[in-house]
Amino acid sequence: MAGTFSFPHDVPTLTDGDVTLRAHRLSDVDEMMVQCRDPESIRWTTVPTPFERANAVSYIKEIVPGGWHTNRDLGFAVEAEHADGQRKFSGSMSLRPMDDGAAEIAFGLHPGARGRGVARRAVNLLLDWGFNQLNLDVVVWYANVDNWASWRVAWATGFSFHGTVESFLNQRGERRDAWCGSLRAAEPREPRHEWHVAPTLSSDRLRLRPFRPEDAPRIEEAVNDERTKEFVGTAPVIGQSGETFIRRQLEADAKGERYNWCIADRATDQLLGHIQLFGLSGLDKTAAELGYVVHRDARGKGVLTEALTLVTEWAFRRKEEGGMGGRRLFLGTAGTNKASRHAAEKAGYVHIGTHPEAFPTATGFDDEVVYHQLNPLWTE
């Protein structure tokens, strides 16, 4: 199909009644400049910096037509209503054909149109056209690691997530790690799994909330503390930077595998530790396992018991009441980890068994003691 498209004559108009994809126009220049000077656009895309009016004019008059003419980048302008109630240019997206029925999708949105479902609807329009009119078999998606907004759109439109490719995307001369995913023509256009967002849970002195970037220094201290190293053993968190630790927890939440909370002081919001529910994709969908780490500043103060109690109450609460609707929670810890065992017992967990020399520590193997708690109100 190379060389078969003429711009703007061969650019179709695609619409669902509210969101429209169409050919770019010179009248888009002013709003395009707003988009391409926006900090999020600069951070996640390859727009020139500084972005001048001449860049916008060149993009519309030369770059977009060239992409259509060579069949290498089939670009559309997005038009939708902004937060101010006006309908106008809302971003750009394209399909970039590859060989044998495959194409890459790329998209970026004007700040005035974000958070309104515009990207998801526009991507669906573009996918419909690509699969039905270009006869594509598969569309692939890439985004710089930490571009959560892009992943959220890919997730909402049915893309499978395949992981991270190191040093893959070139952004202004720097190779950056990339997330990648794919969607095939016959696959449903809906999320493959839940995207977990840990709800905020509070007691008189604690607030359990999602992680934030500013938590990185404290969680790095917590997971690399000598006592933590002894009882985490060979777990991959040891030696991680705080930024990497937080990203991996958020990735697991996005894949529907876990719920992760930062344990924070309610008055100061300072990180005191981390607690998670994991194993949610196992055979028993009614059960989950607990994991946790407490910062050295918070030890011996009942913080872990309080956090375990909050998470347990939420996990056992029925879904229609805002909880997880779980039947059973369990945890395993080292037999010699007296603090962990004490906290579990104080939070109502019962010792149900011991696996001899099954818990890896920094210095060898300890017995693994297993605790659990059943939801007394659980019904199928």
Widest Cα–Cα separation across the chain: 74
Percent of the chain with pLDDT over 90: 90
Average pLDDT over residues 306-330: 97
Q: Supply the pLDDT for residue 2.
A: 46
Q: pTM (2 decimals)?
A: 0.92
Average pLDDT over residues 303-311: 98
Going by pLDDT thresholds of 50, 70 and 90, the confidence category of residue 230 is confident
Q: What residues contact residue 135 under an 8 Å CB cut-off, 6+ apart?
A: 101
For the chain, domains (ranges, CATH) are: 14-184 (3.40.630.30), 201-374 (3.40.630.30)
Q: Supply the pLDDT for residue 226.
A: 85
Percent of the chain with pLDDT over 70: 97
Q: How far apart are CA 106 and CA 295, in angstroms?
A: 41
Q: How far apart are CA 46 and CA 176, in angstroms?
A: 12
What is the sign of the dihedral through the CA atoms of 359, 324, 159 and 178?
A: negative
Q: How far apart are CA 165 and CA 145, in angstroms?
A: 9
Going by pLDDT thresholds of 50, 70 and 90, the confidence category of residue 232 is confident
Question: pLDDT tens for residues 36-59?
Answer: 999 999 999 999 999 999 999 999
Q: Supply the pLDDT for residue 238.
A: 63
Question: Which amino acid type is present at position 151?
Answer: W
Going by pLDDT thresholds of 50, 70 and 90, the confidence category of residue 362 is confident
Cβ(77)–Cβ(42) under 8 Å?
no
Structure-token match 């038009």, residue found: 79
pLDDT at 335 over 50: yes
Cβ(131)–Cβ(150) under 8 Å?
no
pLDDT at 1 over 60: no
pLDDT at 3 over 60: no
Cβ(249)–Cβ(146) under 8 Å?
no
Which tokens hold the place of 166? Answer: 């190191």
Lowest-confidence pick of 12-21, 25-34, 47-56, 230-239 = 230-239
Average pLDDT over residues 240-267: 96
Q: What residues contact residue 323 under an 8 Å CB cut-off, 6+ apart?
A: 313, 314, 315, 316, 317
Average pLDDT over residues 116-144: 97
Average pLDDT over residues 248-277: 97
Q: Is 49 left (phi over 0), alpha (psi -120 to 50) or beta?
A: beta
Q: How far apart are CA 343 and CA 333, in angstroms?
A: 11
* DSSP per position, 323-376: S---SEEEEEEETT-HHHHHHHHHTT-EEEEEEEEEEEETTEEEEEEEEEEE-T
pLDDT at 316 over 50: yes
pLDDT at 239 over 70: no
At residue 208's C-alpha, the angle toward residues 115 and 325, to 5°, is 80
Q: Supply the pLDDT for residue 282.
A: 77
Helix (H) / strand (E) element for 133: namely helix 118-133
Question: pLDDT tens for residues 134-182?
Answer: 999 999 999 999 999 999 999 999 999 999 999 999 999 999 999 999 9
> How many Cα neighbours within 13 Å face the side chain of 14?
23
Q: How far apart are CA 92 and CA 35, in angstroms?
A: 10
Q: Taking Cα atoms as reference points, which of 60, 195, 67 lies closest to residue 120?
A: 195
Which tokens hold the place of 331? Answer: 């945890």
pLDDT at 104 over 70: yes
Structure-token match 């909402």, residue found: 156
Cα dihedral 59, 63, 69, 70, rounded to 10, equals -150
Mean of the per-residue pLDDT values for the chain?
A: 95
Going by pLDDT thresholds of 50, 70 and 90, the confidence category of residue 233 is low
Cα dihedral 230, 235, 239, 240, rounded to 10, equals -140
Q: Supply the pLDDT for residue 236.
A: 60
From residue 54, give the alpha-carbon distance in Å to each of 26, 47, 91, 265.
11, 13, 18, 51
Query: Would you call 289 helix, strand, or coil by DSSP?
Result: strand
